Structure 1
Amino acid sequence: MGEVIKVLDWLLENLVQICTVMLELFGIIVLVSTAVSCFVQWIRNKRQLIRLNLAQGIALALEFKMGGEVLRTVVVREWSELGILGAIIVLRAMLTFLIHWEIKNEKRETQEEQGGKPE
């Protein structure tokens, strides 16, 4: 029975590591593709929604990265590692919150500009 548990533990640890790397890779892909797309829009002088698109891409990338960190907590063996992961998760959550707040304000400003409403 002890050997089965060791094999399952090894399998879980490796599966979590693979999934964590994949989630972080997805976050990097989202961030880079959004940045390139916004840069191309900026070069073409289509600047009306660049900040909004970039902020949404950054928020999505951070959520992928945060998902990877949360998944990483499954295989944490020591309290110090858990503390570090907790701090990373809190910082990324704060960044995500601030970016979503910025997105909301940017959308409101864009709607006011397009609708001609006074600020």
Structure 2
Amino acid sequence: MTHLITDMHEILEIIANISVFMLELFGTCVLVYTAVKGFYYWIRKNESVRLYLAQGIALSLTFKMGGEVLRTIIARTWSELGVLGAIIVLRGLLTFLINWEIKEEKKALREN
């Protein structure tokens, strides 16, 4: 029975590691795509470039925060959990600030 539990734990750890990698990859891809398209918008002098960039960064942070939450499954020590918790809090604050910026930018675009 203990071998079954050990094997299931190892499978869960593998699935969690793959999922964390995929979420981090998705977040990175969204960020790079947003940056390239944002640069294109900036060259074309599109007024909504700041809004587009902020929305892309917020989406990217959401993917990356999902990866950090999943990483808590495989954390083995309290210090690892503390670091992960701090990262989640910082990314959460960044997401909050970026969403506030999105709201302000939408308001500014409506006024123009």
Give every structure 1 segment of 4 or more consecutive aligned residues whose post-TM-superposition deviation is greater than 4 Å.
none
| Residue aligning to 1:80 | 79
From the CA coordinates, give the structure whose radius of gyration is larger: 1
| Residue aligning to 1:31 | 31
TM-score, normalising length: structure 2? 0.98
**Which ranges in structure 1 are unaligned for 5 or more consecutive residues?**
114-119
**What's the offset of the Cα at 1:44?**
2.2
Q: What residue identity is the alignment partner of 2:86?
A: A
| Residue aligning to 2:53 | 54
Alignment partners' CA distance in 2, 1:44 and 1:64: 29
RMSD across aligned positions (CA): 0.6
TM-score, normalising length: structure 1? 0.92
| Residue aligning to 1:90 | 89
SS in 1 for 2:72: helix
**Which ranges in structure 2 are unaligned for 5 or more consecutive residues?**
none
| Residue aligning to 2:22 | 22
